[in-house]
Amino acid sequence: MKKFKFSFINLGCNKNLVDTQFLLWNIFSIAWNNPNYEIDYINDPYDNEVEFVFLNTCGFISSGREEMFEEINKLLSAWKKIYLLGCALQYFETNLSLWTTESQTEQKQRNKIVKNPNIHTLSRSDRNNISVEQIFNWYDSKKFWESPIFNWIRAYTNIDYWFEYLKIAEWCNNHCTFCIIPKIRWKQKSLPIEDVVKQAQELIDNWAKEIILLAQDTNRYWLDLYGKSMLFELLEELEKIDWDFMYRILYLYPDILTLKHLEKLKKLKKFIPYFDIPLQHINPEILKRMWRFYDKNHILKLLDFIDKNFKEKFVRTNIIIWFPWETEKEFDELHNFLKDYHFDNVALFEYHDEPLAESSKLDWKVDGKEIHRRFEVLKSTINKKEWTTTNKKWDEIWFVMWFEWSENNPIIIVRPWLHAPEIDEYDKITLKNIKWIFSDNENLDIWSKILYKKVKKSKDYSE
């Protein structure tokens, strides 16, 4: 009997993780149907027992591809055999005609991958039909364009922490000038509502208490099928599931988000009031050049409605700094906006050119030193506001996520129910910080609901 000992590494976004979970189940399934192989999954990809590592890649931005190259070199140094899959493969296939525009470093790294006998490739469509013998004997996919969404069962890698992701649509029809996803991942395709509800029910049957809805642009769910968003109709169907669970929504872009939509969210009982609204900028001219179709007045109306109508809420956004042609005046407008409005989490991104992105063709670009200076200005402002706000909240209701054990005193890793797993801040406390445990017994476990005295944060910004 042959032994197939494998592990996986997931790079990039949580949408990628869902694909990795489907891959895991594929491998388990084909293994169970083949008595000639003994299949062992090992959590640590660098364990000495691991022979094959499946590396799900990110190709969205150059830093993601750099991370992939670094991980590949580490795995090769550990004498692992590697199967690559995911976005970076699609990026390279799309970009073959543009290699003269790529950095020499990326070209050299890619050539090393192509020539290395211990690195092979697996597309999403091929892995649905592949056999364990083909994987064991080094299968190589020829094309990496996406296949349609499949509704097969997947492995659950976060279920021990009582949450999982649920992808409601693939790919994207937006053509933001800074983004290459539509070019490497095809046009949007949404899952039917009944299929999403079925997957949600399967998650609940496996004891998921929090479901996190994903798409490249969740507010455009079903726009590809019916010409209008059906996200809120989907949420109403999820509300009908008879079980004690919650759900949150990520990637809720603001351009077709309306006050009527937010009014609907007020009435939903299982909805976590978590508003992940990627703004990128606030200046109308910059937004036009980004090919984002909303303005400052629209954004302010949405934020004002959320402030006035949701007593408990968490608002997250992301910002791109120094997009081409961003003047000092436009940057100051962005800076003042972030001073005036409190976001609970702001992700800052320094703009850089991607060869396949339309924005790379724009002129009026500054060097990295100036971009980084502006990054530090915004970071300092955001950190000051977060410190001031956080230290007004002395008591929090948090969920236990896991434990770190010292000799006599366990360190408890907790997060507030509004914070998104793997995205927002966790905290570390000890038993003496806990004021109340919301359960019939006082035994702490994963997902225990507790009230605790919050540890005061130290200032982490420059005066």
Which pTM value belongs to this model? 0.92
When divided into structural domains, the chain yields a total of 3
Rounded distance, CA 25 to CA 156, Å? 9
Rounded distance, CA 167 to CA 221, Å? 11
The kind and range of the H/E element at 65 are helix 62-77
28 lies in a domain? yes
On whether both 362 and 251 belong to a single domain, the answer is: yes
Higher pLDDT, 213 or 146: 213
Q: What are phi and psi of 378, to 5 degrees?
A: -70, -40
Rounded distance, CA 256 to CA 230, Å? 12
Average pLDDT over residues 2-12: 92
Choice among 141-155, 195-209, 413-427 with the minimum mean pLDDT: 141-155
Alpha helical stretches, state H, 391-425? none
Of 185-189, 195-199, 430-434, which one has max mean pLDDT?
195-199
On whether both 332 and 414 belong to a single domain, the answer is: no
On whether both 425 and 382 belong to a single domain, the answer is: no
**Where residue 247 sits, what CATH number does that domain have?**
3.80.30.20
Query: CA of 324: how far to CAs of 103, 177, 351, 357, 359, in Å?
Result: 20, 11, 8, 12, 7
What is the per-residue pLDDT across 399-412, written as a single tens digit (0 to 9) for each?
899 888 766 778 99
Domain residues for the domain of 245 are: 159-389
What's the confidence (pLDDT) of residue 159?
Answer: 93
* Residue type present at position 128: N
| pLDDT at residue 60 tops 50 | yes
10 Å Cβ neighbour count for 427?
Answer: 19
What is the per-residue pLDDT across 169-193, written as a single tens digit (0 to 9) for each?
988 889 999 998 888 877 889 999 9
Mean pLDDT of the chain: 88
- The 8-class DSSP code of residue 275 comes to E
Q: Is 239 helix (H, G, I), strand (E, B) or coil?
A: helix
Cβ atoms of 277 and 243 closer than 8 Å: no
186 lies in a domain? yes
Cβ atoms of 201 and 247 closer than 8 Å: no
What's the confidence (pLDDT) of residue 148?
Answer: 55
Q: Of 136, 167, 182, at which residue does a domain stop?
A: 136
Q: What is the per-residue DSSP string for 289-334?
A: HHT----HHHHHHHHHHHHHH-SS-EEEEEEEES-TT--HHHHHHH
On whether both 182 and 322 belong to a single domain, the answer is: yes
Q: Which residues contact 335 (CB under 8 A, 6 or more apart)?
A: 377, 378, 381
- The residues pairing with 214 across neighbouring beta strands, listed in sequence order, are 167
Q: Which residues contact 34 (CB under 8 A, 6 or more apart)?
A: 131, 132, 133
Average pLDDT over residues 109-133: 83
What's the confidence (pLDDT) of residue 457?
Answer: 58
Give 462's pLDDT tier (boundaries 50, 70, 90): very low
On whether both 109 and 187 belong to a single domain, the answer is: no
Cβ atoms of 418 and 393 closer than 8 Å: no
146 lies in a domain? no
On whether both 190 and 306 belong to a single domain, the answer is: yes
Average pLDDT over residues 411-416: 90
Rounded distance, CA 82 to CA 352, Å? 30
| pLDDT at residue 78 tops 90 | yes
On whether both 190 and 236 belong to a single domain, the answer is: yes
Q: Is 112 helix (H, G, I), strand (E, B) or coil?
A: helix
Average pLDDT over residues 325-345: 94
| pLDDT at residue 317 tops 60 | yes
154 lies in a domain? no
| pLDDT at residue 62 tops 80 | yes
- The 8-class DSSP code of residue 187 comes to S
**Where residue 124 sits, what CATH number does that domain have?**
3.40.50
On whether both 292 and 417 belong to a single domain, the answer is: no
| pLDDT at residue 101 tops 60 | no
What's the confidence (pLDDT) of residue 456?
Answer: 61
On whether both 274 and 367 belong to a single domain, the answer is: yes
Per the listing, tokens 């692992």 go with 80
Alpha helical stretches, state H, 3-61? 14-32
Rounded distance, CA 355 to CA 427, Å? 39
Rounded distance, CA 394 to CA 451, Å? 10
Q: Which residues contact 25 (CB under 8 A, 6 or more apart)?
A: 152, 153, 154, 155
On whether both 7 and 125 belong to a single domain, the answer is: yes
What's the confidence (pLDDT) of residue 147?
Answer: 60
The kind and range of the H/E element at 67 are helix 62-77
107 lies in a domain? yes
Among 219, 224, 244, residue whose Cα is nearest residue 234: 219
What's the confidence (pLDDT) of residue 183?
Answer: 83
Buried b / exposed e along 120-135 (16+ C-beta atoms within 10 A):
bbbbbbbbeebebeeb
Give 458's pLDDT tier (boundaries 50, 70, 90): very low
Among 190, 175, 250, residue whose Cα is nearest residue 221: 190
Per the listing, tokens 């009944």 go with 194
On whether both 224 and 302 belong to a single domain, the answer is: yes
462 lies in a domain? no
What's the confidence (pLDDT) of residue 206?
Answer: 94
On whether both 171 and 288 belong to a single domain, the answer is: yes
Give 379's pLDDT tier (boundaries 50, 70, 90): very high
What is the per-residue pLDDT across 239-272, written as a single tens digit (0 to 9) for each?
999 999 999 999 999 999 999 999 999 999 999 9
Structure tokens at 223: 């726009």
Q: Of 349, 371, 389, at which residue does a domain stop?
A: 389
- The residues pairing with 249 across neighbouring beta strands, listed in sequence order, are 213, 275
The distance from CA 72 to its chain's CA centroid, rounded to whole angstroms, is 21
